[in-house]
Amino acid sequence: MVLEVLEKLRNVERLTVGAALLQLLSLAELGDVPFPTLKVQTLIVKTGYRPVIPGIARMRI
- Residue 47 has a pLDDT of 77
Domain boundaries in the chain?
Answer: 2-58
Per-residue confidence at 14, pLDDT binned at 50, 70, 90? very high
Rounded to whole angstroms, the Cα distance separating 56 from 26 reads 8
pLDDT at position 13 is 93
**Model confidence at 12, in pLDDT bands (50, 70, 90)?**
very high
For the residues of 1-61, what is the DSSP string, one character each?
-HHHHHHHTTT-SEEEEEHHHHHHHHHHHHTTPPPPPP--SEEEEE-S--S--HHHHH---
- Is the pTM higher than 0.75? The answer reads no
* pLDDT tens digits along 21-52: 888 888 888 888 887 788 889 988 887 766 56
